[in-house]
Amino acid sequence: MESKYKNWAVIVYIVLGLEGFINASYLAIEKFMGGTIKCIVFSGCETVNNSAYAQVLGIPLSFFGAIFYLLVFLLSVRYLQIKSVKILHYLHYLALLALLFSIYLFVVQVFVIKAYCFYCIVSACTSLLLFIIGFWLPKDSFFHFLNK
Amino acid sequence: MGNQKLQQILVWVLIVIGLAAIVLGMVGVASQKSKLGVLLNPVSSGDWSRGDKNAKVTLVEYSDFQCPACGYFYGLVKNLEKDFPKDFAVVYRNYPLEQVHKYALLASQAAGAAGVQGKFWEMHDMIFEKQSEWSVSSDVLGSFVVYAKTLGIDVEKFKTDINSKEVNDKIQGDLADGNNQNIQGTPTFFVNGKQIQNPQNYEEFKKLIDTEINK
């Protein structure tokens, strides 16, 4: 029996993906536009985002984060259209990746940089939610994921 | 079937438009933050200035002595003063970012104290030249005292003046100015009262000043 709300988790994914995208891309845009040589007035965000941990090959992490959340958003929308189980698998992997990476970044903020960035914390929460809600994605995909 | 496909395409078109709008909106918000201002408190006789007394172009700098970026621009501004001996003057205003630079305020006080004995700019130069040394020293005040000795000023008076009302009022006044001005970071430059984007290199800076002089 097809429940009307069987895909509620996917809809939550759409919302979280969009929210994560907005959060991460705002950070990336700010970084991209504020590129002058300056010492910035104190703010946890500046300390964290100007640290070595905030970039990969010279590209700010926030950019990759924006791409990641965009993927989650787009995949979730596509799932509602074609109900492909394969998409659900991808979403699971993305959610797991997000969780692991968020834990790493959180540990770096707390124990290494010792500064907190609000936007980064929001992103970590979004990733955590994605992982938790992931357990409620349509059932078949969940078991497939476990039986890998 | 065709209808469904059309519906799907429509959804994607709306999504692309929506995302584009969101990104543009964020670019708009971010650019508000980096707007260039106008100098609110004009240069006065109470300011630390160096250069042509009747300069056509005055460069005002809000600066933090411990800020590496300011250290970088110190070199550039010095070269500007060499390249434009006439028509150009520089004004220094204190804007120590105390929350990130522990000794910035002390450095401002040291420069100001040297200034009481007529050696502000000499001390200013020394502090920036040796920024990488004293900023990591275990006795920063001791370093400044050594510089004071080198400059040949009265060291005891120097040490007292560091905490004097005159020196600290000036620093706090500059800080208040900077806060009114909504300074986002250091250095922040104003050329003839108009804020500029920090130039990426010396050539850019030189061109800017040259243009302003020849206006």
Q: What CATH number does residue A131 fall under? A: 1.20.1440.130
Distance to chain A for B56, nearest Cα, Å:
26
Residue A131 lies in a domain: yes
Q: How far apart are CA A22 and CA A30, in angstroms?
A: 12
Residue A44 above 80 pLDDT?
Answer: no
Q: Are B26 and A22 within 8 A, CB to CB?
A: yes
Q: Are A26 and B187 within 8 A, CB to CB?
A: no
Q: Are the CB atoms for B121 and B159 separated by under 8 Å? A: no
Residue A117 lies in a domain: yes
Contact status of B1 with chain A (Cβ, < 8 Å)? no
Predicted local confidence at residue B54, as pLDDT: 87
Q: Is B44 strand, coil or helix?
A: coil
Residue A98 above 50 pLDDT?
Answer: yes
Q: Is the pTM of this model over 0.80?
A: no
Report chain A residues whose CB lies below 8 A from the CB of B100: 39-42, 47
Distances (CA, A) of A63 to A45, A57, A106: 15, 12, 17
Write down the H helix ranges in A34-135. Answer: 44-49, 61-82, 85-107, 118-134
Nearest to B69 among A26, A38, A74 (CB): A38
A12 vs A52 pLDDT, higher one: A12
Residue A1 lies in a domain: no
Distance to chain A for B199, nearest Cα, Å:
8
- Which one, of B115, B96, B116, lies nearest residue B105 by Cα? B96
Nearest to A33 among B19, B31, B186 (CB): B31
Q: What is the mean pLDDT of residues B168-183?
A: 94
Q: Are the CB atoms for B191 and B62 separated by under 8 Å? A: no
Query: How many domains does one find in chain A?
Result: 1
Q: Are B100 and A36 within 8 A, CB to CB?
A: no
Q: What is the mean pLDDT of residues B107-114?
A: 97
Report chain A residues whose CB lies below 8 A from the CB of B69: 37-39
For the B48-213 domain, the top CATH level (class) is: alpha beta
Which domain does A60 fall in, by range? 8-146
Residue A2 lies in a domain: no
Would you kindly state where each structural domain of chain B is located, as residue ranges?
Answer: 48-213
State the best of A37, A63, A72, A73 to mutate against chain B, taking most chain B CBs within 10 Å: A37
The residues, ordered by sequence, that sit 6+ positions from B147 with a Cβ below 8 Å of its Cβ are B110, B114, B123, B126, B127, B130
Residue A21 lies in a domain: yes
Distances (CA, A) of B151 to A131, B148, B154: 64, 5, 9
Q: How far apart are CA B155 and CA B162, in angstroms?
A: 11
Nearest to A33 among B30, B73, B188 (CB): B30
Q: Which residue of B has its CA nearest to A23?
A: B26
Q: Kindly report, residue by residue over B36-90, the tens digit of the pLDDT.
A: 889 999 999 999 999 988 899 999 999 999 998 999 999 999 999 999 999 999 9
Q: Are B33 and A34 within 8 A, CB to CB?
A: yes
Report chain B residues whose CB lies below 8 A from the CB of A36: 197-198, 200
Percent of chain B, pLDDT > 70?
99
Residue A125 lies in a domain: yes
